[in-house]
Chain A
């Protein structure tokens, strides 16, 4: 894929909606890309999108690599319709009340309804309210409808997504938008699949766009159990540098994919990723994760008899906002690094993973 195609891919994936538990629209968009480069594509019972491409292993016992990036995005859910027609809501995944006032949204009722998250005018705030932290209880969605009108369109449990089209930045090679956590990871899967379309690899490949990560890594639990891969790489986002933040918590945008090190990751996989990056002259960064980083790798590692895992992350500013920002070179190189990694695998390497 060339730079223009990659930009179009990530912008389309950012626009599509797929809140945890209801990922159908996003899955259809991703499926449209992955089916070009793979031989089989399906969704499992929880909704994980899985695309398969066989490898050429010259008669040796086959082995499989799963590349897993979560498909779902954070959003909100309607909990109550008030007297005046205002909708009360709760978060699905970790949404931050601070970014909500003034936010345009789409309420997925009988039809898709445009709404806004209102806020008290600053003139009308009491001194106490100005000092206090915002809570979900203070916020509501205004559809401009009366209660009776709203009740015809909206039910308790309907989902709310952010209405925030992606923005390509004028200078540099950056893009901002909603849901880049983790459509960026999913885009990297697509880039990797495209890179591998016409080349030989020994590993059988599963490209997995997992569901319900934002509510507790749930899709990856059943996907790993069902696929039983010999090894897996999770692809997610990590925090990008920005004013007021300093390493080791954040990583440079444009500095390359971030390879994680720690108990969640098999040292041979981490080493192989670094070797491949160095051979291909990709700049990479290194992150220390002493405990769970809260990614799919955490549950995949302990599926069944244990699955060796690695984590590759794309630096991302303003995570869990509607203006998440990334560098397109980081995204492209993450996809290409994954492809080089997949090509490097052979049966002896996989057999060596159980020898410490």
Chain B
């Protein structure tokens, strides 16, 4: 699975430009499901047919990045964020465009970090003039972080763990599913999560699943002077209770906990005070879809190097697999079981 994770995180794919990620995942997952297909927004669905109800697990393919807004007279590029990027985390970083052009981010003269804002930042691609820059980059081109995957032993370090690790978990879970399932399962690889859960919105509308699950990273409270949060690396995947986008359906959450306990999968309960995930869009689709989330604890979310624990990832795969193979109750239309 490590090779798969390395390949996924090193692929270019800011929100709206997920093509390379989608093609890679399609190739990896196609053999494990009945069929794959895409929609108008670029979501990739990998479907295992089965009787009702239908489950949908969603991991987003897109990553945070920047977009070029202006090329100045000396060939420096001005940029603005795609998704939630803190400007101070980009200073000194290398960014890469889709076609491989690489540059580094620096800032104009400032007195302190507090003065650092997007208009103070620029991207230097080593172009000697405006004309030279325009030959390589156009207004509206996007770039993402340029960082290699590193195996630290018990932990992995990479850009875009958010949420390629979720994609890897779903691909791996799909591979390991038994030939027969008690219900239909769709693995959704969604687009544009970082700019407002947009891919999951249309995907849930199209697929009309009975249950929805986001598989995404969550923040942790186990680093020096971190905000109070009872999630740590290495204590198992987290079963989400709440974030800014969703209050997970109490019955779904209970069934997830029951599954983890029965299968002896270590888990944590997650209350994330800031941040959202695809479940936020899925649960409000059409007449409402009971939803939950499996979260992979991750340090330094939206920083150039995000860290996850190897055993958490392994247990997350197992949890998604066991959630897919347990039987879920049928829901009446318009009169949910609560």
Q: Which residues of A contact B (CB under 8 A)?
A: 20-22, 24, 42-48, 77-81, 88, 90, 92, 137, 155-157, 212, 215, 218, 221-222, 225-226
Q: CA A121 – CA B287 in complex, angstroms?
A: 49
A46 partner, pick from B221, B270, B288, beta carbons under 8 A: B288
- CB-nearest residue of chain A to B274: A90
Knowing A77-B241, A156-B241, A156-B271, the reply to whether A212 touches B334 (Cβ < 8 A) is no
Q: CA A81 – CA B290 in complex, angstroms?
A: 28
Give the most central of A20, A46, A225: most B CB within 10 Å.
A46
Q: Is B164 an interface residue (CB 8 A)?
A: no
Closest Cβ–Cβ distance, residue B305 to chain A (whole Å): 26
Knowing A20-B247, A21-B250, the reply to whether A45 touches B289 (Cβ < 8 A) is yes
Q: CA A259 – CA B11 in complex, angstroms?
A: 55
Knowing A79-B230, A137-B228, A222-B284, the reply to whether A45 touches B242 (Cβ < 8 A) is no
A222 contacts B230, C-beta separation under 8 Å: no
Q: Is B283 an interface residue (CB 8 A)?
A: yes
B271 contacts A79, C-beta separation under 8 Å: yes
List 8 additional contacts besides A44-B336, A226-B288; criterion CB under 8 Å: A20-B247, A44-B288, A78-B271, A80-B229, A92-B247, A137-B228, A215-B247, A225-B286
Knowing A21-B250, A79-B230, the reply to whether A90 touches B288 (Cβ < 8 A) is no
A21 partner, pick from B242, B268, B269, B273, beta carbons under 8 A: B242
Knowing A46-B288, A222-B286, the reply to whether A157 touches B241 (Cβ < 8 A) is yes
Closest Cβ–Cβ distance, residue B136 to chain A (whole Å): 43
- CB-nearest residue of chain B to A78: B271
A157 contacts B242, C-beta separation under 8 Å: yes
Give the chain A neighbours of B286 by CB distance below 8 A. Answer: 222, 225-226
Q: CA A341 – CA B228 in complex, angstroms?
A: 50
Knowing A21-B242, A90-B273, A156-B270, the reply to whether A47 touches B228 (Cβ < 8 A) is no
Q: CA A49 – CA B153 in complex, angstroms?
A: 51
Closest Cβ–Cβ distance, residue A266 to chain B (whole Å): 24
B242 partner, pick from A42, A46, A77, A226, beta carbons under 8 A: A77
Chain B, 320-336, CB within 8 A of any chain A CB: 331, 334-336
Give the chain A neighbours of B250 by CB distance below 8 A. Answer: 21-22
Closest Cβ–Cβ distance, residue A30 to chain B (whole Å): 14
Q: CA A212 – CA B250 in complex, angstroms?
A: 13
Q: Which residues of B contact A (CB under 8 A)?
A: 221, 228-230, 241-242, 247-248, 250, 253, 268-271, 273, 283-284, 286-290, 331, 334-336, 338
**Can you report 20 residue pairs joining A to B where beta carbons are below 8 Å apart?**
A21-B242, A21-B250, A22-B250, A43-B338, A44-B336, A45-B288, A47-B336, A47-B338, A79-B228, A79-B271, A81-B230, A90-B273, A137-B228, A156-B241, A157-B242, A157-B270, A218-B284, A222-B284, A222-B287, A225-B287
B290 contacts A45, C-beta separation under 8 Å: yes
B247 contacts A21, C-beta separation under 8 Å: yes
Give the chain A neighbours of B271 by CB distance below 8 A. Answer: 77-79, 90, 156-157
B336 contacts A45, C-beta separation under 8 Å: yes
Give the most central of B229, B230, B247, B273: most A CB within 10 Å.
B247
Knowing A80-B230, A221-B284, the reply to whether A155 touches B273 (Cβ < 8 A) is no
B228 contacts A44, C-beta separation under 8 Å: no
Give the chain A neighbours of B283 by CB distance below 8 A. Answer: 46, 218
Q: Which 4 pairs from chain A and chain B are nearest by CB?
A: A21-B247, A157-B241, A46-B288, A222-B288
- CB-nearest residue of chain A to B241: A157
Closest Cβ–Cβ distance, residue A267 to chain B (whole Å): 29
Q: CA A47 – CA B288 in complex, angstroms?
A: 9
Give the chain B neighbours of A48 by CB distance below 8 A. Answer: 288
Give the chain B neighbours of A88 by CB distance below 8 A. Answer: 228
Give the chain B neighbours of A22 by CB distance below 8 A. Answer: 247, 250
- CB-nearest residue of chain A to B284: A221
Give the chain B neighbours of A77 by CB distance below 8 A. Answer: 241-242, 271
A226 contacts B228, C-beta separation under 8 Å: no
- CB-nearest residue of chain B to A91: B273
Give the chain A neighbours of B247 by CB distance below 8 A. Answer: 20-22, 92, 212, 215
Q: CA A212 – CA B290 in complex, angstroms?
A: 13
Give the chain B neighbours of A92 by CB distance below 8 A. Answer: 242, 247
- CB-nearest residue of chain A to B240: A157
Q: CA A77 – CA B240 in complex, angstroms?
A: 13
Closest Cβ–Cβ distance, residue B92 to chain A (whole Å): 32
